Chain A
């Protein structure tokens, strides 16, 4: 089973700051890594697929990078609506494991 470990658990930042979130896989997932944003009471929203491709309608301030076992989601300048929980997910096999999430909170 592929385990995804996200860090940090919580990121306390101010609007306008840069956010850098990490996701590490226990074995290579190639580029089959996605990032989701979830706000309280809402379903997850796909942000990034295949490590670095923005989903439809996602602002350019969101970017993803990495391959193999180490991945990064970067939010270049936090907007008020970006404070949420972010999850990574791998789809290199059919057991679509998620990371445990990183909460981006207002400092």
Chain B
């Protein structure tokens, strides 16, 4: 069974640009989560999507947004990039809530903002 996949693996952008990261969940999983792992800040929750709807949002500015498609894949968009957005962005997926809640993570997208 294929795991969570993310693309691209690495990305280099300039401050002020926009970026889109993509995530495909494990087959059968309907929930997708996004986390940011920035140096010195640890792992922080960004967004949770389930059945195409945004269910919860972490303490991030509105320039971080996303969506979930009918096939449950997801995109994370970051507008007006800032230097501090440089981080590893991790996507995770899980089955419906109520099934133990374990989240399975993808390999991440390493974003560097210069």
Are A and B physically bound partners?
no
Residues of B within 8 A of A (CB): none
